[in-house]
Amino acid sequence: MSVKDDFVKQAAEAPARVLDATVSGSKNAFKVANNHNQTKRIRRFWHILGPGLTTGASDDDPAGIATYSQAGARFGYNFLFVSLITFPLMSVVQEMCARIGLVTKKGLAANIKEHFPLPILYISAGLLFCANIFNIGANLGAMASSTQLIFPQISFPALVVIFTIITLVLQVSFRFEKYSQILKWLSLVLLAYIISAFLVDDIEWKVVFYKMLHPGFTFEEDQMLLLCAIFGTTISPYLFFWQTTQEVEEKYPSAPQKTAFHVNRKTIHEMRIDVWMGMLFSSIVMFFIITTCAATLNLGGLSEIDTSYQAAKALEPLAGKNASLLFSLGIIGTGLLSIPILAGSASYAISESLGWKKGLGKQLKHAYAFYGIIIFSLIFGLVINFLGLDPIKALIYSAIINGLISPLFLIQILILSSNQKVMGKFKNSQLGNIIGWIAAVVMVAACALTILFGII
């Protein structure tokens, strides 16, 4: 081929090469743009998540993990259906609490103080404080015991003290903006329970989902008590207070800025995404904890599991060291997440009831009483572990107290969130009211059954 012919051939092929390069470049540019858009959407979604996510995650605290583990160990897959029931109930209630905080710019106790008789508020706040202290003590003990599975050379008393100090430092020393982000990232530790389920060999998922939709519930005394415990640990008063106050802290961080933020439909929409995703995450974790313990402990004949620590320890010979390690890490992580929320919610309730300065956005020197209640709660929770009190009994006592006061708070929340004078155009929908009252009736029934089977 001559030089002339070669030149003519290359000239003829040039447009095709240019087109190929253009198409290839366009495809690469599209991929880069698409990846960039996906990253932006993920960041936007993560930015929307906040109080709802941390509240939902804190619901799966070591006490809750112990309850779900016991359900799976003793009754197999029969309690999986509860995760389907509690999800919409807790989501609607927490959404009401969030709306109350956003619209009124006040915490739940401050709203109750304004619209209900004071004796009811003081008694309820006092009972909430007692219940939370028992829960804090039990959670500290569970965290210390679980850590000993990983580091057996460290003594139990030393670990309880260490975790108490870590929690105090988190709440007192960090600014709210950083502290809320720490809690947000800590919520991801619950992924350990989802991963641990997939480390278990031979889980028959068809059987799991069949049992979830066709539970073998027999209404026997043991099953009824455990059902009440699950409802008590899932729809708890401390979650109501924390959700409401964190919406206020996040959107209205200081008094001068309270008028700068206005609630609109976009705000409510983003809040709903946050709350419902947080409660969905919590319900999914409940599902996987029950499934893991049912597929290992129940099938392995180990049905006497009273604590989350015992569940983590028993998993190793049945599901392997990795599953046991993840279970233990989950207990430690959820304890670090839930204990500050338990102490903080009690402090918000009492401070608002008595008109004290409060808020994690304030420094210690500007809110002595508020932080004093947090410090006292943690110290008393620490002391509980050295009084010889059975941690299971402590959890039972806190569950009974929560069961007794939950219906009272639920009714107050329903009345507040459906009152147009309080909520304006953001009051409850008719469907929201129906689901909310169903939640209240369920909790009243759980309370009555707890008293009937647990006391009489």
Tell me the C-alpha distance between 404 and 450, whole Å: 9
Together in a domain, 448 and 371: yes
Structural domain contains residue 263: yes
Contacts of 93 (CB under 8 A, 6+ apart): 235, 240, 410, 413, 436, 439
Range of the domain at 33: 1-39
Together in a domain, 10 and 80: no
Tell me the C-alpha distance between 121 and 109, whole Å: 7
Together in a domain, 275 and 353: yes
The predicted pLDDT at position 5 comes to: 56
Per-residue pLDDT of the chain (456 residues; tens, 9 = 90+): 554 455 445 545 555 554 455 555 555 555 555 666 777 787 887 778 888 888 888 888 888 888 888 888 889 899 999 999 999 999 999 999 999 999 999 889 999 988 888 888 888 888 889 888 888 988 898 888 888 888 888 998 999 999 999 988 888 887 767 777 888 888 888 888 888 888 887 788 898 999 998 887 777 777 877 887 888 888 888 999 999 988 888 877 654 444 556 778 888 888 899 999 999 999 999 999 899 888 888 877 777 776 666 777 777 766 667 777 888 888 888 888 888 889 989 999 999 988 888 888 787 778 889 999 999 999 999 998 888 766 556 665 666 677 677 888 899 999 999 998 888 888 988 898 999 899 888 888 877 776 776 554
Together in a domain, 159 and 10: no
210: Cα within 13 Å, side-chain hemisphere = 5
Together in a domain, 32 and 58: no
Together in a domain, 387 and 417: yes
The predicted pLDDT at position 25 comes to: 55
Together in a domain, 350 and 375: yes
Structural domain contains residue 194: yes
Together in a domain, 117 and 253: yes
Structural domain contains residue 234: yes
Together in a domain, 35 and 71: no
The predicted pLDDT at position 256 comes to: 46
Structural domain contains residue 46: no
Nearest to 328 by CA among 69, 82, 54, 55: 69
Structural domain contains residue 306: yes
Tell me the C-alpha distance between 129 and 109, whole Å: 13
Tell me the C-alpha distance between 277 and 432, whole Å: 17
> Count of CB atoms within 10 A of residue 448's CB?
13
Together in a domain, 10 and 61: no
Amino acid at 446: A
Together in a domain, 30 and 83: no
